[in-house]
Chain A
Amino acid sequence: MALLKTIKEIGKYFYEIYDAVTSSVRGMMVTGSYFVRPSTIVTQQYPENRDTLKMMDNFKGELMLIHDENNKHTCNVCNTCARRCPNGSIEIIYKKVEGADGRSKKILDKYIYHLETCSFCGLCVPACDEFALKFDQKFELAVFDRSKLTKVLNMPGSSSKAMKE
């Protein structure tokens, strides 16, 4: 009985060596097979492929106010986006003007977007009934000065479509 046990122990010893060698070789085959196949490289060469790099369709870059070719946007200063924003990243400054019908009307003066506090939750875009907002595809958002992160989204000289001349 004791002999049998000893033989078993010895068998186990050699099995362990066999096991170690085969499992190690199997692992090395994985890394080795990738070594000889440069086609499996997945990294992108970023600054070089900048021209061809295309972000996904829905990518959430920075927020933008949509302007058409006549430099017009559709914001009607309802302030919903600013209220929906959890971080207070959107500030809308408006001025009151006399409309054509004689009633005073709010028009957009400055649409201020604080990129530094934006957490890209995307609540503002669907909140807008006028579809005035969307996320840009821009992703290189780093700047050297914090003040540059506060952006005015409406372009200079732009006006609202809702305004009747």
Chain B
Amino acid sequence: MYDFTPLIDAITNYLNENFSPFWAGTISMVLLGIVVLMFYAILGLYLVYAERKICARMQNRMGPNRVGPLGLFQTIADLIKLLLKELIYIRNADNLLFNIAPFIVIVASIMAIGAIPFGKGLQALDLNIGVLYILAISSMGVIGILIAGWASNSKYSVIGAMRSGAQVISYELSVGLAILCIVTYAGSLQFSEIIASQQDGWWLFKGHIPAVIAFVIYLIAGTAETNRGPFDLAEAESELTAGFHTEYSGIKFAFFFLAEYMNMFIIAAVATTMFLGGWLPFHIYNWQGFNRIMDFIPPVFWFFGKTAFMIYIMMWFKWTFPRLRIDQLLALEWKYLLPINIMNLLLIAFLTLMQWHF
């Protein structure tokens, strides 16, 4: 009912008929770029707003409520402030790397958005190795963080960057293995096919307990990969003042900040796609009327609803737990998550082999 494929096809056909292939490609790329960038900026800002509101509610506060109704324009005002702020020049910093680092971080997260399916046909890149693409791109951001820490010529920054490096390298494994569990179930690395395989039930429900375990591990490892609390060791406000972005100001800091929130969105979106059926509506077996009503809700709403729920859980983590120490963080990964994950993957492979999932 809500299929975006004809719309996208119509645009593509129109461009192909009226322009030479080169220009058609260029225009479609520019259009796509603008759409993704707008989406990125607006979503990033409102994720910041959402986090401030959610944490305020958890802490018996009101949260931002001065700028606009319910404080809705607060983060936009913040962005304008950050845009107008002076970019502080750091003496003895490696200028080229210092300036390039925020862009690496933000480009990595923009690139990852391209592969996320927001609805049927509403996907910029439906690669046949979409899962691998996301995993590869999302771990690129850490290069930017490492560069930022190194180039700032500050000890706090270096410590933060090294922590971040160690953290992302180890938690990348758990994220990958947890996703592999679903890939094993679905038998495909393509996002559209993984979603199609959940037509009769989300993997979280029909994947038995191993899928639930994989989901929890993915959630923990995903939170760690985005450098968010309780795994925000790279920033570690009370220890390293601000970690890798101590020396950044103005819009360059805003880039790091936005990228953190968008990474969180990407992690949540991938979790939605892999475990919660992506943009598919919630169906209960044999309840025809209920299923019909659910079908009326557009898939984009389903996708964003599920993603928002995942994001809420990640924020809930952050505002409840104390921060781990670096050795405990690594112990958690290598001593707990990774062995459990590997056993889990074996179990899932066995289940798939025996066709025991629904």
Contacts and interface: CB of A to CB of B under 8 A. Distances in A.
A102 interface: no
Given A41-B62, A43-B62, A45-B62, A28 B316 contact: yes
A31 interface: yes
Contacts of A42: 60-61
Instruction: Say whether chain A's binding surface is mostly helix, strand, loop, or mixed.
Output: helix
Q: How large is the interface on B (under 10, 10 to 19, 20 to 34, 35 or more residues)?
A: 10 to 19
A56 interface: no
Interface in B318-350: 319-321, 336
A48 to B, nearest CB: 10
Interface stretch (B1-9, B51-59, B290-298): B51-59
B203 to A, nearest CB: 21
Interface stretch (A32-40, A91-99, A109-117, A137-145): A32-40
Interface in B116-170: none
Given A17-B336, A35-B54, A41 B320 contact: no
A52 interface: no
Contact of A34 (B57, B65, B321, B336): B57
Interface in A108-154: none
Contacts of B65: 45
Contacts of A30: 320
Contact of B58 (A17, A31, A45): A31
Given A17-B336, A31-B316, A32-B316, A40 B60 contact: yes
A31 B319 contact: yes
Interface in B266-312: none
Contacts of B54: 35
A6 interface: no
Contact of A28 (B61, B320, B336): B320
Contacts of B319: 31
Nearest to B312: A35
A38 B62 CA distance: 9
Interface in B39-87: 54, 57-62, 65
A27 B321 contact: yes
A24 interface: yes
Contacts of B58: 31-32, 34-35
Most buried by A among B319, B320, B321: B320
Most buried by A among B54, B58, B65: B58
B229 to A, nearest CB: 12
Contacts of A28: 316-317, 320
Contacts of B60: 34, 40-43
Nearest to B57: A35
A32 B321 CA distance: 12
Contacts of A40: 60
Contact of A24 (B57, B59, B61, B321): B321
A44 B316 CA distance: 24
A108 B97 CA distance: 71
Contacts of A41: 57, 60-62
Contacts of B336: 16-17
Interface in A5-56: 16-17, 24, 27-28, 30-32, 34-35, 38, 40-43, 45
B202 to A, nearest CB: 22
A31 B61 contact: no
Contacts of A31: 58, 316, 319-320
Contact of A27 (B59, B61, B320): B320
A38 B320 contact: no
A35 to B, nearest CB: 5
A43 B61 contact: yes
Contacts of A34: 57-60
Contacts of B57: 34-35, 38, 41
13 contacts: A17-B336, A28-B316, A30-B320, A31-B316, A34-B57, A34-B58, A35-B57, A40-B60, A41-B57, A43-B60, A43-B61, A43-B62, A45-B62
Interface of A: 16-17, 24, 27-28, 30-32, 34-35, 38, 40-43, 45
Given A35-B54, A35-B58, A41-B62, 20 more contacts: A16-B336, A17-B336, A24-B320, A24-B321, A27-B320, A28-B317, A28-B320, A31-B58, A31-B319, A31-B320, A32-B316, A34-B57, A34-B58, A34-B60, A38-B57, A41-B57, A41-B61, A42-B60, A43-B61, A43-B62
Closest 7 CB pairs of A and B: A31-B58, A31-B320, A35-B57, A42-B60, A27-B320, A35-B58, A28-B320
